Structure 1
Amino acid sequence: MSILINKDTRVLVQGITGKSGSLQTKAMLDAGTNIVAGVTPGKGGQEVFGVPVYNYVAEAKRAHDFDAVICFVPPKVAKDSCFEAIDAGAKLLVLTTEEIPMQDVVEIIAYAKAHGTTLIGPGCAGVIVPEVCKVGAHPVRFFRKGKVGIVSKSGALSYEIGKTLSDRGIGQSAVVAIGGGPIWGFTQRDAIALYEKDPDTEVIVLLGEIGGGSEEAAAAYIKANVTKPVVSLIVGRNAPAGKSLGHAGAIVSGNVGTAATKIAALQDAGVYVVKSPMELVEQISKLLKKGE
């Protein structure tokens, strides 16, 4: 068992003929992902690495069943592309696009929720189940199959931690990078809830950063509902207040969204909070040995 995706997940790629779309399509195919179709308006009838291309999602839907859609499109057309995917019945939508107008993001999230679609993103790296498949941009060479479930805002941080764990022989059940913007669909709390129910996950890792209140919300959920051990690393402890660093959501305002408030909430929930990637690895190693 795994969370969000598995070997049977059928994927459609929006923007498949673009630079990012075609590059990531090849990488996903190499990772074992079952990509059944792609969509780029005006490019119907072509193929990308053997994947048939259609002009519209509805057209592709008539020829292929799919469960998940990954979106590599420009910001100005992201809302229409997402609505098209949701209307076609996508159960999972991975929105990689960054710099989407905030009002569009709000509308996409609301539309997905109203139609029962799980939306990861925007501006995310997606999800990988190591040695099975991926719907996103995670480099497969950094990950190996195992018992640690990771959720991260940052894609790059999830890559680094995945590789650090793998280099120590510690594999992952799944890795989800939800995006670093100020708002998104699928949350850290949502991922933790899935990992808690997943029999293949023994230890949960929460990779957080300054800004917003999502880590605090996750901590409240953990305290009330989670029985599995959770280890967390919060980055940005020395960031200046009032300045966005890298991610639009990584901004501290007053006493809201600081590393200190997040760490305090997580520790109160019984989470093992560490200060570095290597300390994270050591703590996970201890927990896995304890569970043997």
Structure 2
Amino acid sequence: MTAIYQRARPIHWDEVVGQEHVKDVLRAALERGRVGHAYLFSGPRGVGKTTTARLIAMTANCERDGVKPCGECPSCLMVRAGSHPDVLEIDAASNNSVDDVRDLREKVGLAAMRGGKKIYILDEAHMMSRAAFNALLKTLEEPPSHVIFVLATTEPEKILPTILSRCQHYRFRRLSDVEIAGKLARLCEQEGVRAEGEALSLIGRLADGAMRDGESLLERMLAAGEDVTRAGVEAALGLPPSERVAEMARALAARDAEPLLTGAG
């Protein structure tokens, strides 16, 4: 069985949690056919950069009429499975040399195999060498009309200014605890698992703004095959029980050290 974060990946724009300042602009542009040739997505890890890049790929290559992406046509299904021949996800951390970029440039000019758009998603783009960036620059300046580049990075300050100037830059923010807990609640409902609101709120706080971390923490809880409770989350993650934390807080507020001392042993 696939990991929960893979099953939970949005296949429609409305399913993307938060990032309205990004998804609303991109969706409107794609609906009008105003597709950029190069995008830069920056922000913390696990907040939807690659997910949004895949949605661009699905939207640009969706084979059905109406609202795109449909999520169910052959093209959308291949993007979801990571097997679309015209949607290439490249780990720039391990493919960051001049030779790698030259190889990419040779393939960029080839027509899309399925007749739509060719999408190149470069993850961890800041890991590319200066020479590799310079080799990519010409392609970003004058890309073929059937090609879209999406560069994703957690460190935009390391991207060369000449590259930045040729990309539409979208900054992704950390998600709120409420946004993360809300999606986790929907995932639990889909999985047929009961979950306490306090437990999901705690996971949302521990995720520190990253939806992927929240989903990974939830998967640890679901592996036990039991209801997701706050006590269970605290035990699984080695956290002090909330009752003890509350007792310590009350003692500190009352400037009463006795409860702290008696519990020290």
- Structure with higher RCO (Cα < 8 A, 6+ apart): 2
Q: TM-score if structure 2 supplies the norm length?
A: 0.28
Q: Which has the higher strand share?
A: 1
Q: TM-score if structure 1 supplies the norm length?
A: 0.27
Q: Look at both structures and tell me which one has the larger radius of gyration over its CA atoms.
A: 2
Q: Which has the higher helix share?
A: 2
